[in-house]
A and B are shown apart, each in its own frame.
Chain A
Amino acid sequence: MSVLVVVEPEDLGDEGAGLSVVSQEVLTFARTLPGEDVDAVLVGLPCGGAPPEAVLAHCREQGVRTLHVTPEHRLERYAARAWARVVEGAAEAGGAAYLVAAGTARGNEVLAHVAAARGVPMPCNVVAVVQEEPLEVERQVVGGAVLERVALQAEGGLAIASVAGHAVAPEPAPSPGETRVEEVAVELTEADLAAQVVRVEAKEGGDTSALTGANVVVGAGRGVGGADQFDDVEALAARLGGAVGVSRVVTSLGWRPHHEQVGQTGSRIAPDLYLACGISGAIQHWAGCSSSKTIIAINTDGEAPMVTKARYAVIGDMHEVIPAVLEELS
Chain B
Amino acid sequence: MTDVLVCVKRVPDTSGEVVLSADGSGVDGRYAGYTMSSHEECAVEIAVSVAGDTGGSVTVLTLGDDDSVEQLRAALAVGADEAVRIDAPADDYGPADVAAAIAEVVRARESEGRPFDLVLVGNDAADTGDHQVGIRLAHLLDRPVVAGAQEVAVVGDRLDVRSSVSGPTEVFDVPLPAVLTVWEGGVEPRYPNISGRMKAKKARVEVLEPSGVPQGSGRLGLRVLPPPASNVEVLGEGKAAAPRLVDVLRELGVVR
| Contact yes or no, B233 A146, CB < 8 A | no
From A119, A123, A197, A302, contact of B96 by CB (8 A):
A119
Tell me the residues in window 193-216 of chain A with beta carbons closer than 8 Å to chain B beta carbons.
194-203, 207-209, 215-216
Cβ distance B227 to chain A, nearest Cβ, rounded Å: 7
In the assembled complex, the Cα of A201 lies from the Cα of B126 at a distance in Å of: 29
Interface string of A183-199 (1 = CB under 8 A from B): 00000000100111111
Number of A-B contacts (CB under 8 A): 249
B118-140 interface bits toward A, Cβ cutoff 8 Å, 1 = contact, 0 = none: 00000110111111100110111
Q: Once bound together, how far apart are the Cα atoms of A146 and B254, in whole Å?
A: 33
CB distance from B15 to the nearest CB of A (A): 5
- Assembled-state Cα–Cα distance A239/B188 (Å): 32
| CB pair B246 A307 closer than 8 Å | no
The reply on B89 being an interface residue by CB < 8 A is: no
Within 8 A of B (CB), among A89-143: 103-106, 108-109, 112-113, 115-117, 119, 121-125, 136, 140-143
* Least Cβ–Cβ distance between A227 and chain B, in angstroms: 14
* Interface membership of B175, Cβ < 8 A: yes
CB distance from B59 to the nearest CB of A (A): 23
Chain A, Cβ-Cβ closest to B143: A194
Nearest B-chain residue to A199, judged by Cβ: B171
Known A106-B166, A122-B132, A282-B15: A142·B94 in contact at CB below 8 Å: no
| Pairwise interchain contact B255-A197, C-beta atoms closer than 8 A | no
Q: Is the Cβ of A311 less than 8 Å from the Cβ of B220?
A: no
B126 close to A264 (CB less than 8 A): yes
Q: Mark B1-23, 1 if CB is under 8 A from A, else 0.
A: 00000000000001110101000
| B234 at interface by CB-CB < 8 Å | yes
The listed residue (A103, A196, A265) touching B39 by CB distance below 8 A is A265
Which of chain A's residues have a CB closer than 8 A to the CB of B142? 191
Specify which chain B residues have a CB less than 8 angstroms from the CB of A78 in the assembled complex. Answer: 170
Q: Is the CB of B96 within 8 A of A208?
A: no
Q: With a CB–CB cut-off of 8 A, which chain A residues contact B15?
A: 282-284
Known: A116-B136, A259-B185. A329 touches B166 (CB 8 A): no
Interface CB pairs A-B, < 8 A, 28: A112-B136, A115-B132, A117-B139, A122-B95, A122-B132, A145-B14, A145-B18, A146-B27, A148-B219, A148-B221, A149-B219, A150-B217, A191-B144, A198-B171, A198-B173, A199-B170, A207-B168, A207-B169, A208-B165, A208-B166, A239-B255, A265-B37, A265-B185, A283-B18, A314-B234, A317-B238, A324-B242, A327-B242
